[in-house]
């Protein structure tokens, strides 16, 4: 039988309260059943590259009881694991969210009953043909989620305390009104983006509706007033030679009456006041942002790029120290990726949980919207021989024939469709990002052969 490896990661199954719900249970069962059928003719191993369980997110229990709770509340799913694991090998390595699996051999015994083989290691290696596959979760390359000692859960990273404490507080009065959005906490990536995500959800989902309906029209008048004042000043200083920005224009644009006149005067007064305060406010805001960034509580594109560059530096060092690595596989970042180097391919397995893409609104002073979507993908690594067959006189069509004797490895990427019904967004969230490019298109080749 030919050998085939399948890779998924970051399922984060389990958690206290609503977080315990698994949104992709049906798709995961479908995937396990598919591998079970394929295993009749093929030697299959499914490797889960960390964070199968959300042990961090189970805050009402301690120790091994967390695992028992997840297995008990997801009986159907783990019975499917048990059935599938009887037909092909299922291997699990711990990630940061299920790091506790390393500290007690009893975890290994419990999971074995479900035909899940726990490898109590930071990294594992597999070989296919003459190619070496290096597999690790990757959190030890992330300072925010790195454990000081890998094989212990006595010392937790900063990321643990943020997630654990926020979920623990969900029973407080404030969390009883959060309308379910707190369950998406584990979908926020990187962890440093949590403050921005929380403010966005507060504004669009938890703020008193009366405040929101007052705030938005007022801000529209505010922007209108700022534009009119700016235009009037440019005309007054003769920088632009028009006669547009004045009271006559306002009368044309807005049905004029005494009430609106008073609102516009109030807005103009406020705009002028803010202009006077802008310099000290800018300095204070800039200093606050620097302070938050110092403590790792502000995320931005530069930070994401810096973190990705840092990951690549560490991965490149590992590959340099181990030149026989042909395929380097990791997860953790929740961003599926494919990078082809000269002598190695780097694969990120992404995640199956809900993803949140930060989308700026058309009105820039409003909080960004975190758009939800799913990317249920997996990689397959198999041995093939590449042959060409003529389909007609003018067209050559490639086909791939499995042959374990050939020293060629094929990497394939597949996705399981899941409908996103846009239900998680409020009316205002949909309105402010209407017609924007919402879902990132990951440029992952469907198939590639390593020579």
Same domain membership, residue 396 and residue 326: yes
Three-state SS letters, 298-337 = CCCHHHHHHHHHHHHHHHHHHHHHCCCEEEEEECCCCCCE
- Predicted pLDDT at 247: 61
Q: Which of 273, 294, 315 finishes a domain?
A: 294
8 Å CB contact between 278 and 270: no
Read off the CATH number of the domain in which 361 is found: 3.60.21.10
Same domain membership, residue 441 and residue 318: yes
Let me know if residue 36 belongs to a domain. Answer: yes
Q: What is the domain extent for residue 113? A: 3-177+302-450
Residues with pLDDT less than 50, the chain: 171-176, 388-399, 403-404
CA distances from 384 to 46, 292, 398 (A): 19, 51, 12
Let me know if residue 111 belongs to a domain. Answer: yes
- Predicted pLDDT at 395: 36
Same domain membership, residue 7 and residue 95: yes
Same domain membership, residue 312 and residue 288: no
Same domain membership, residue 281 and residue 340: no
SS3 (DSSP) at 373? strand
Same domain membership, residue 252 and residue 232: yes
Q: How many domains does the chain have?
A: 2
pLDDT tens by residue, 63-98: 999 999 999 999 999 999 999 999 999 999 999 999
Let me know if residue 191 belongs to a domain. Answer: no
d(CA 97, CA 93): 11
């Amino acid at each position: 039988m030919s050998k085939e490896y399948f890779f998924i990661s970051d399922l984060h199954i389990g958690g206290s309260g609503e977080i315990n719900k698994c949104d992709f249970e049906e798709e995961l069962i479908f995937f396990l059943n598919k591998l079970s059928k394929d295993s009749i003719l093929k030697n299959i191993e499914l490797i889960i590259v960390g964070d199968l369980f959300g042990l961090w997110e189970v805050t009402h229990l301690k120790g091994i009881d967390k695992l028992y709770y997840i297995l008990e509340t997801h009986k159907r799913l783990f019975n499917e694991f048990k059935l599938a694991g009887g037909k092909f090998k299922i291997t699990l390595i711990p990630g940061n969210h299920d790091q506790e699996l390393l500290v007690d051999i009893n975890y290994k015994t419990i999971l074995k009953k479900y035909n899940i083989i726990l490898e109590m290691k930071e990294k594992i290696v597999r070989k296919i043909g003459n190619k070496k596959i290096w597999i690790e979760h990757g959190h030890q390359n992330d300072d925010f989620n790195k454990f000081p000692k890998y094989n212990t859960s006595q010392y937790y990273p900063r990321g643990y305390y943020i997630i654990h404490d926020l979920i623990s507080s969900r029973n407080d009065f404030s969390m009883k009104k959060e309308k379910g959005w707190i369950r998406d906490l584990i979908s926020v990536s990187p962890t440093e983006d949590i403050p921005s995500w929380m403010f966005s959800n507060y504004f669009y989902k938890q703020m008193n509706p009366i405040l929101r309906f007052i705030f938005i029209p007022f801000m529209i008048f505010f922007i209108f007033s700022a534009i009119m004042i700016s235009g009037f000043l440019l005309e007054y200083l003769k920088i632009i030679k028009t006669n547009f920005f004045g009271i006559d224009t306002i009368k044309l644009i807005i049905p004029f009456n005494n009430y609106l006149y008073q609102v516009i005067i109030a807005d103009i007064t406020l705009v002028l006041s803010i202009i006077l305060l802008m310099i000290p406010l800018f300095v204070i805001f800039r200093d606050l942002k620097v302070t938050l960034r110092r403590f790792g509580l502000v995320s931005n594109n530069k930070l994401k790029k810096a973190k990705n560059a840092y990951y690549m530096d560490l991965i490149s060092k590992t590959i340099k120290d181990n030149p026989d690595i042909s395929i380097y596989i990791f997860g953790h970042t929740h961003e599926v990726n494919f990078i082809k180097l000269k002598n190695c391919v780097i694969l990120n397995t992404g995640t199956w949980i809900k993803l949140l893409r930060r989308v700026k609104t058309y009105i820039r002073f409003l909080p960004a919207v975190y758009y939800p979507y799913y990317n249920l993908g997996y990689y397959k690594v198999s041995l093939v021989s590449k042959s060409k067959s003529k389909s007609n006189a003018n067209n050559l069509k490639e086909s791939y024939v499995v042959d374990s004797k050939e020293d060629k490895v094929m990497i394939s990427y597949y996705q399981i469709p899941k409908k996103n019904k846009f239900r998680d967004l409020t009316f205002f969230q949909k309105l402010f990002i209407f017609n924007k490019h919402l879902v990132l298109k990951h440029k992952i080749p469907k198939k590639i052969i390593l020579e």
